[in-house]
Amino acid sequence: MLQQLLPLLPDEAGTGALIVAITGALIGLGMWLIGARFSRPVVTLTLVAIGGLVGLRLPQWFGWSINGMGPAVGGAIVLGVFGFVCHRFCIGMWLGLVLAWWVGLGTWVVLRDGQSWSWPVINASTTIQSFCTDLWRALPPSVMKVLPYSAGASLLSGICVAMMWPRAGVAITWSLAGVSLLVSMGLAAMKLKEPNWLGVVPAQTWAQALAFFGLVAFGAILQWKLAPASKAPSAPAKPKAEGAE
């Protein structure tokens, strides 16, 4: 499976790409080990940043003749409050997206019919919509038929897990996302700096899957212990009977 991930990684051995890969691997390591301990603040601040960036770009995208600071502040407040209040749902969405990524990769590996992967060409006229369209059209027809259903089922499964088992959902999400980032960015760093180190990676798919799920399980158990437990509401005190001393 991981051999199929290598063609998706960059080939340029530039210093900037190597720094990004190493930084991403270190961030993934932190997410894997202690991310759940700071889950709500990190989710809230991340959505604040996303809301601010999106709000800043809204006038440019829709041709509004207004300053972008107003929508940026409004977007930051709205998404920040949403991330704090609906933390459980945000974790479910995140878990579903990570699951959808891995299921999508597995779908492509199984149904690609020997087709190799190539990223769409990016130029000055490329937009987010055109890039996503070209990315979708680059997939084999067999993958295009199955991928929406497999990815959609994975997304729904992640949301259900986080909503039904909040503490377990937080631990699993941070562990799975951290291992995913650590593995992908670690492989990218090795590919850019020391390609010979890739020979250490087990060639058998079952060995890779066993090691991956072992890391995820270890991180989830560790973060289950570190994550703050939700406090159950205390029962109201019973009123004393009349005449009792």
- Position 46 scores a pLDDT of 94
The answer to whether residue 244 sits within a structural domain is: no
Say yes or no to pLDDT of 84 above 90. Answer: yes
The answer to whether residue 243 sits within a structural domain is: no
How many distinct structural domains can be found in the chain? 1
Instruction: For residue 4, give both structure tokens.
Output: 């199929």
pLDDT tens digit string along 96-106?
999 998 898 88
Q: Is pLDDT larger for residue 29 or for residue 245?
A: 29
Residues of the chain above pLDDT 70, percent: 86
The answer to whether residue 1 sits within a structural domain is: no
Say yes or no to pLDDT of 182 above 70. Answer: yes
The answer to whether residue 69 sits within a structural domain is: yes
The answer to whether residue 70 sits within a structural domain is: yes
Residues 117-144: what's their mean pLDDT? 81
Say yes or no to pLDDT of 239 above 80. Answer: no
Residues 39-64: what's their mean pLDDT? 90
Q: Which of 70, 80, 93 is nearest to 177 (CA)?
A: 93
Long-range contacts of the stretch 191-197 (C-beta < 8 A, 24+): 191/6, 191/9, 191/10, 191/11, 192/10, 192/12, 192/13, 192/14, 192/17, 192/18, 192/21, 193/13, 193/18
Helix (H) or strand (E) holding 220: helix 205-226
Structure confidence at residue 233 as a pLDDT band (50, 70, 90):
very low
Instruction: For residue 238, give both structure tokens.
Output: 């019973």
The answer to whether residue 237 sits within a structural domain is: no
Q: How far is CA 63 from CA 57, 59, 67, 220, in A?
A: 10, 5, 11, 46
Using CA atoms, how far apart are residues 22 and 19, in angstroms rounded to an integer? Answer: 5
Q: Which domain holds residue 185?
A: 13-119+132-226
- Position 158 scores a pLDDT of 92
The answer to whether residue 232 sits within a structural domain is: no
- Position 49 scores a pLDDT of 94
Residues 153-172: what's their mean pLDDT? 92
Q: Beta-carbon neighbour count of residue 197 at 10 Å?
A: 13
pLDDT tens digit string along 33-44?
888 889 999 999
Q: Give the range among 22-26, 60-64, 72-76 with minimum mean pLDDT.
A: 60-64
Say yes or no to pLDDT of 179 above 70. Answer: yes
Structure confidence at residue 227 as a pLDDT band (50, 70, 90):
low
